[in-house]
Amino acid sequence: MMSNLERLVYMANQIARNFEAIGHDKAAAATADHIASFWDPRMKAQIFALIDKGEANLAPPALAGLLSLRRDGAPAHQTRATEFNDVNEAGHADAG
């Protein structure tokens, strides 16, 4: 069974892996966007602490995305999945 911290690393790597086809830099930006949009602040703090300790076994685009997120804040939206409708628009969800 994975620990909570191992699960965070696993999830960050999965997110980055989903964006591999668009290249390292775009995958890193899309990973940062996704984590900024969907992860709880506590989750982000925990993975940043792992990175600081050198204990996060992250894929290169996941690590680059997280370091960028911490350094620069949330990037512009990289995919439609993180673009949300305004209150008066139809849909109100990232599911379409």
pLDDT of 76: 87
Q: Quote the CA–CA distance of 4 and 42 in Å, as a whole number.
A: 12
Burial of 30 (C-beta count, 10 Å sphere; 0-12/13-18/19+) = buried
Q: Is the pLDDT of residue 16 over 90?
A: yes
pLDDT in tens, 79-95: 777 776 555 555 544 44
List pLDDT tens digits, range 32-67: 999 999 999 999 999 999 999 999 999 999 999 999
pLDDT of residue 95: 45
* pLDDT recorded at residue 56: 92
Q: Which residue has the higher pLDDT, 13 or 77?
A: 13
Measured CA to CA, the distance from residue 7 to residue 94 in angstroms comes to 23
- Report residue 25's pLDDT band, with 50, 70 and 90 as the boundaries: very high
Q: pTM score > 0.85 for this model? A: no
Q: Quote the tokens at residue 4.
A: 């909570």
Q: So what's the pLDDT on residue 85?
A: 53
Structural domain boundaries of the chain? 4-74
Helix H or strand E segment including 13: helix 4-18
In angstroms, the CA 65 to CA 25 distance is 8
Q: How far apart are CA 4 and CA 43, in angstroms?
A: 9
